[in-house]
């Protein structure tokens, strides 16, 4: 839970005769992360025939998938088809071609009829505006001497068109009057067709595309098109029924063919990355240590002569090449998803999911504290998680439910129920309820001070976790002089002590800072000493790493180093201050939440009539939707910019085991 799963590096030497059996075991259990080991093969063996087989399987699989899509069949991963050998291409390909040809014939007819229907409907839409115009369409097409354009023209551009054609012989008819887009007919000599076309285009005259196969007036043509559309729709229905029959007829056979080809392609893709020797194959990869024993047993059963070497990997130190398999837990999955959006933990690094599972709902609830609205969010989250509503957001359902539960708890502590607080609860809801803790709208400064205190505690914990990660990675330079190292941590404590001494007993004074300031330590001296260490931390860190402390040489290089060091100290001070004060937003949003509720009540009035309750209902829906989204964004921002950056580096390689079925994302 606190770290990614422990991994073991595995090296296999497989006899050629057991190649397929071992590939089946590795591909079928979803625990083996393969590493390309072709570099371990012998160059003089020439190109592997498995590359061609993998390409053939892949092409055949795509053909089967296309046929299944035409028949509206989904790929069935639930059925477990067993297999001993890989699919024989010479046997499978004719079966696929037989079904493919039959389905493709009907599918092509169906596509052609759908395109024809789309074209006919488009022609009908173009002719409907001039259906009442009594003009022979054929007369517009068969003239050898006249160039004509029938179309719709913006009424404001009629004068522009006529001005453009003032010196060109032409005839302009308005076939149907319209204040916005009249239907017009423009005729002129065919020798001037280019000029007429340019003038029509500049005036935004939209020509109507008239079907060649129809004769008569627009009214007669639209009637013919409607009959043709009806006939085409009937053909489409018949072809769709034929495809449904084929779908039922070939469902099982296609699924069997697809599965055989799919597993063969998956194994061939894996074998292509094996290192090939003369009579053996070499395979390298990673396996979660907890799954190693079972995988070893299955490999021994598949190939008694296989050689297996397992190399455990410690969590300490840097292991950028080790894939990271996160511990899956359906209750923490939405939190884990937020973490991996920021970065995937590296191997051996603390997984911040457990911390974020506490702080994310906590900070959200503190900002959005309302008992009634929180319970609504809780119910909505559970419904979303179960796919009852908003299925596209199902991955966030539990997160919304957690935040709603936290908001309900804080709402109880704040004494707020659907925005009703204090005397409003007794006046409109009929019972007395006082906040067990405090009311943000009435105790603004204490709320802001508590928000800063909570931020300080979270930041101190983040510093400690950052140092813990550095210890595990044995990164001693960053442990001492890094941005989350010991020097910065002590400097931050001195900074808080001076801040607490400065604010003293004021209402806004963070109590954690005041408590630190009360410790009998020379905080001013500590701040100066560790401030200097922070100022020169870059050079000291370079020295510990064995690099030159100062880049450049001479007086100029030293002066530049001093300027840069001073700017580092100034930036660190600003960063620590902004990180600490950034948590003021938690209290500010709690206050704003209560203020927004009061605004809703001022709009609703004082008389509890129907209009009052409708206003309260709409106001609460607005707060739950809009403010809930804003508070969620602010909570995410606090974690991404203020908390995770203190101890979490990420950059881990994703664990992608060989598998025959789609693997659910671990985050």
Residue 148, φ and ψ in degrees, nearest 5:
-125, 150
What pLDDT is stored for residue 130 in this prediction?
Answer: 67
Mean pLDDT of 314-336: 83
Q: Which residue from 315, 287, 289, 292 is spatially nearest to 652, judged by alpha carbons?
A: 315
Nearest to 221 by CA among 282, 307, 135: 135
Which tokens hold the place of 603?
Answer: 């709009």
What domains sit in the chain, N to C, each tagged with a CATH number? 7-98+245-323 (no CATH), 138-209 (3.30.70.2750)
Give the torsion sign (CA, 631, 634, 640, 646). negative
Answer with the residue of higher pLDDT: 403 or 650. 403
User: Is residue 100 predicted with pLDDT exceeding 70?
Assistant: yes
Q: What are phi and psi of 206, to 5 degrees?
A: -95, 105
pTM: 0.77
Q: Which whole number is the average pLDDT over 326-351?
A: 87
pLDDT at 81 over 80: no
pLDDT in tens, 341-362: 898 888 888 889 999 999 999 9
Q: Which range has highest mean pLDDT (173-177, 420-424, 450-454)?
A: 450-454
Bigger pLDDT: 175 or 163? 163
In tens, the pLDDT along 388-420 reads 998 888 889 999 999 999 999 999 999 999 999
The yes-or-no verdict on residue 209 having pLDDT over 70 is no
Q: Give the per-residue pLDDT at 530.
A: 93
Q: Is 216 left (phi over 0), alpha (psi -120 to 50) or beta?
A: left
- Long-range contacts (CB closer than 8 Å, 24 or more residues apart) made by 297-300: 298/25, 298/29, 299/12, 299/22, 299/25, 299/26
Question: How many other CB atoms are found less than 10 A from the CB of residue 50?
Answer: 19
Mean pLDDT of the chain: 87
Which residues face 12 on adjacent strands?
Answer: 283, 308
**Which stretches of 72-218 are assigned E, i.e. beta strand?**
146-152, 171-176, 183-189, 206-207
H helical segments located in 482-627:
486-503, 511-517, 523-535, 537-544, 554-581, 584-604, 610-622
Tokens of 481: 């002089």
Nearest to 167 by CA among 205, 199, 140, 143: 199
Cα 241 → chain centroid: 38
User: Token digits for 367?
Assistant: 């900002």
Q: Indicate if the pLDDT at residue 210 is higher than 80.
A: no
Q: Which of 180-184, 375-379, 504-508, 593-597 shows the lowest per-residue confidence on average (mean pLDDT)?
A: 504-508
Backbone dihedral region for residue 422 (phi beyond 0: left; psi -120 to 50: alpha; all else: beta): left
> What confidence score (pLDDT) does residue 78 get?
63
Q: Read off the DSSP letter of residue 626.
A: I
Is pLDDT above 60 for 200?
Answer: yes
Report the pLDDT value the prediction gives residue 109, as an integer from 0 to 100: 93
Residue 297 has a pLDDT of 94
- Highest mean pLDDT among 109-113, 345-349, 538-542 belongs to 109-113
Count Cβ atoms below 10 Å from residue 590 Cβ, excluding itself.
28
CA 509 remoteness from chain centre: 40
Give the pLDDT confidence of 456-472 residue by residue, as tens digits: 999 999 999 999 888 88
**From 32-46, 248-262, 386-400, 469-483, the region with the lowest mean pLDDT:** 32-46
């Amino acid at each position: 839970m606190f770290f990614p799963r422990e991994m073991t590096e595995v090296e296999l030497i497989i006899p050629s005769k057991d190649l397929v059996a071992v590939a089946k075991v590795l591909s079928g259990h979803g625990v083996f992360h393969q590493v390309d080991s072709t570099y371990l093969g012998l160059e003089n063996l020439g190109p592997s025939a498995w590359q061609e087989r993998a390409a053939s399987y892949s092409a055949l699989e795509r053909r089967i998938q296309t046929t299944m899509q035409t028949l509206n069949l989904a790929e069935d991963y639930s059925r477990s088809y067993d297999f001993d050998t890989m699919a024989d291409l010479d046997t499978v390909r004719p079966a696929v071609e037989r079904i493919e040809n039959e389905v493709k014939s009907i599918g092509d007819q169906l596509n052609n009829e759908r395109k024809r229907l789309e074209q006919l409907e488009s022609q009908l839409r173009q002719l409907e505006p001039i259906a009442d115009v009594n003009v022979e369409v054929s007369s517009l097409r068969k003239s050898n001497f006249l160039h004509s354009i029938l179309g719709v023209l913006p009424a404001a551009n009629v004068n522009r068109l006529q001005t453009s054609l003032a010196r060109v012989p032409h005839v302009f008819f308005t076939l149907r009057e319209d204040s916005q887009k009249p239907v017009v007919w423009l005729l002129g000599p065919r020798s001037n067709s280019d000029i007429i076309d340019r003038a029509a285009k500049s005036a935004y005259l939209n020509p109507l595309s008239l079907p060649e196969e129809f004769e008569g007036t627009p009214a007669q043509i639209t009637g013919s098109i409607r009959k043709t559309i009806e006939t085409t729709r009937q053909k489409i229905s018949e072809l769709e029924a034929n495809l449904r029959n084929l779908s039922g007829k070939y469902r099982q056979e296609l699924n069997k063919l697809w599965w055989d080809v799919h597993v063969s392609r998956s194994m061939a893709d894996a074998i292509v990355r094996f290192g090939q020797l003369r009579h053996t194959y070499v395979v390298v990869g990673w396996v979660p240590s907890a799954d190693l024993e079972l995988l070893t047993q299955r490999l021994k059963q598949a190939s008694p002569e296989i050689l297996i070497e397992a190399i455990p990997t410690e969590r300490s130190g840097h292991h950028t090449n080790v894939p990271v398999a996160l511990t899956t837990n359906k209750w923490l999955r939405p939190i884990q998803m937020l973490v991996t959006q920021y970065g995937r933990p590296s191997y051996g690094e603390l997984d911040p999911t457990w911390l974020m599972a506490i702080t994310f709902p906590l900070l959200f609830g503190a900002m959005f504290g309302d008992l009634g609205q929180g319970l609504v969010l809780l119910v909505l989250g559970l419904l979303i998680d179960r796919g009852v509503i908003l299925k596209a957001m199902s991955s966030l359902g539990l997160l919304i439910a957690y935040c709603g539960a936290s908001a309900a708890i804080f709402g109880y502590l704040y004494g707020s129920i659907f925005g009703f607080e204090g005397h409003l609860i007794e006046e409109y809801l009929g019972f007395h309820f006082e906040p067990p803790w405090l009311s943000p709208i009435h105790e603004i400064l204490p709320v802001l001070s508590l928000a800063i205190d909570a931020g300080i505690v979270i930041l101190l914990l983040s510093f400690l976790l950052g140092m813990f990660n550095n210890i595990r990675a044995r990164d001693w330079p960053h442990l001492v002089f890094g941005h989350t190292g010991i020097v910065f941590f002590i400097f931050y404590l001195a900074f808080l002590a001076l801040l607490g001494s400065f604010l003293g007993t004021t209402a806004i004074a963070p109590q954690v800072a005041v408590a630190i300031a009360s410790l009998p330590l020379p905080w001013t001296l500590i701040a100066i000493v560790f401030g200097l260490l922070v100022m020169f931390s870059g050079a000291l860190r370079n020295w510990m790493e064995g690099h030159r402390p100062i880049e450049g040489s001479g007086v100029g290089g030293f002066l530049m180093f001093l300027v840069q060091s001073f700017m580092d100290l100034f930036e660190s001070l600003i960063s620590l201050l902004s990180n600490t004060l950034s948590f003021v937003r938690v209290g500010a949003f709690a206050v704003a939440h209560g203020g927004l509720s009061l605004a809703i009540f001022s709009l609703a009035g004082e008389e509890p009539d129907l209009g009052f309750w409708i206003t309260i209902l709409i106001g609460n829906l607005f707060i739950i939707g809009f403010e809930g989204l804003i508070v969620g964004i602010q909570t995410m921002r606090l974690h991404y910019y203020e908390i995770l950056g203190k101890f979490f580096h990420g950059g881990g390689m994703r664990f992608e085991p060989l598998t025959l079925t789609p693997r659910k994302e671990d985050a």
